[in-house]
Amino acid sequence: METLSENSMSFRRNSKTSHRFDNVYDALTLFNEMIEQHPKRSIVEFTQLLVALVRMRHYATVVSLCSQMELLGVSHNDYSFNILINCFCQLGGIDSGFSVLVKMLKLGVKPDVVTFSTLIKGLCNRSKISQACLLKEAHDLFFEMRKQGIKPNVITYTTLIDALCKKGVGMVSKAEDIVGTMTKQGIKLDVVTYSTFIDALCKKGMVSKAEAEVIVDMMRKQGIELDVVTYNTLMHGSCQLGRVSTACELWRKMLASGQVPDLVTYSILLDGLCKSDELEVALKVFQEMRNSELQLDIISYSILIDGLCKAIHVEVAKKLFLQLSVSDLKPNFYTYCTMINGLCREGLPEEAYQLFKRIGR
C-alpha cells in the first residue's frame, strides 16, 4: 500500500486550507485516493489540491486532472474553472482558455473579475510574442467585462497597462487613458501599476526632475511607499535623459526612506555617472557598494572599468580589474574587451596582447 508524505496527510486531515506539497508525486497520490472515495470529495477539496499543483507550476498536470474530474462527474465551480483557464493561458493555449469560458456560460456559471483578468493577461502575454491583434482583443475584452457589469480590479488594469506600454511608445497614450479611467472609477494605483507606468513615461522621455518629484509625492499622498523597483525605474529614466543629478537625488531619497538599494540600483547609478564623466562620484558610490552587504557582480565592475578606460584612467582600471580575482569574480567577454581597448588606447599593446591570451582560460 502506498504511503503519503506528511504534507499529504496534513492535506487530508484539514482539506479546508490549502497546503504546499514537496513534489508532484504526493499531490497525485492524494488525488488518486480522493477519486476512489465514495462519496467523492467536493469540488472545493479538489480545488485545494489543484491550487497546490499550480503553485508548483504543473499546469499541464492540472489540465489533465480536471479532465479526469469531469469524466468522474465532479462538477466545476467558478474557482476551479478560473484555475483551469489560468493553466491554459500559462501553457499558451489562450483559445482553450476561451473554450472554458464558453463552457462556464453554458453551465450557468457566471464569470467574474478573475476570469476576465486571467484571459486578458493570457492575450497580453501572447501578444508579446505573436500577433499585435491579440492586444486589441485584450483591450476589447477589458471593455466587454465592464459592459457586463464586472468591475476590473487593479490587477486587470495593471496587466493591460503593462502590455500597452511594452508594445512601444505609440501605445503609451492608450495606457495613459486607462490610468485616467482607473482614477475616475476610484481605483487606486498600486506600486506595481505606478512602476509600470513610470517605466513607459521614462522610455517616452517624459520624466523630468519636476515630474519625478510630482510622481513620488503623488504616490506618498496615496499612502503608497515607493519600492526599490520604482526608484530604479525613475533613476534609469533620469539617467537615460542625461539627468544624473536627478538620479542621485532619487538615490538619496531612497536611502532616507529606508529602502535598501540593490545591485540594479547601483549599476544604474554607476552607468549614469560614468557616462556623465562623474568618475569621482562613481568611485565613491562603488566604494559604498563594497562596504554594503551586497555581493558585487561582474556587471558593476565592468561598468566602472569601462568608464575609467574611456576617461583615460587606465591605471585605476587595471587595479580594479586585478581585484576581480580577489573578489572571486571572473571577467566576462565584455570586461576583457573593455580592458584590452583601454590598454591599446594607452599605448600598451603588449599588456593588451597578454590579456587577450587569457580570454577563455
Residue with cell 485616467: 180
Q: Is residue 242 predicted with pLDDT exceeding 50?
A: yes
**pLDDT score, position 208:** 64
Q: Other CB atoms closer than 10 Å to residue 194's CB: what's the count?
A: 24
b/e burial code for range 307-319 (CB count within 10 A of at least 16 → b): bbbbeebbeebbe
Average pLDDT over residues 64-72: 94
Q: Other CB atoms closer than 10 Å to residue 341's CB: what's the count?
A: 15
**For the ranges 114-128, 230-244, 267-281, the one whose mean pLDDT is highest:** 267-281
Cα dihedral sign, 291-296-300-306? positive
Q: Is residue 299 predicted with pLDDT exceeding 60?
A: yes
Q: Other CB atoms closer than 10 Å to residue 29's CB: what's the count?
A: 17
pLDDT, averaged across the chain:
85
Q: Tell me: do 232 and 268 sit in the same domain.
A: yes
SS3 2: coil
**pLDDT score, position 317:** 94
pTM: 0.68
Q: State which of 294, 312, 328 marks the end of a domain.
A: 294
Q: State which of 251, 270, 294 marks the end of a domain.
A: 294
Between CA 257 and CA 248 the distance in angstroms is 14
Q: Tell me: do 285 and 333 sit in the same domain.
A: no
Q: Tell me: do 305 and 275 sit in the same domain.
A: no
Question: Which are the contacts of 99, defined by CB distance < 8 A and separation ≥ 6?
Answer: none
Q: Is residue 127 predicted with pLDDT exceeding 70?
A: no
**pLDDT score, position 209:** 59
Residue with cell 530604479: 232
Q: Tell me: do 193 and 290 sit in the same domain.
A: yes
Q: Tell me: do 262 and 315 sit in the same domain.
A: no
| Residue 351: domain span | 296-361
**Residue 41 falls inside a structural domain:** no
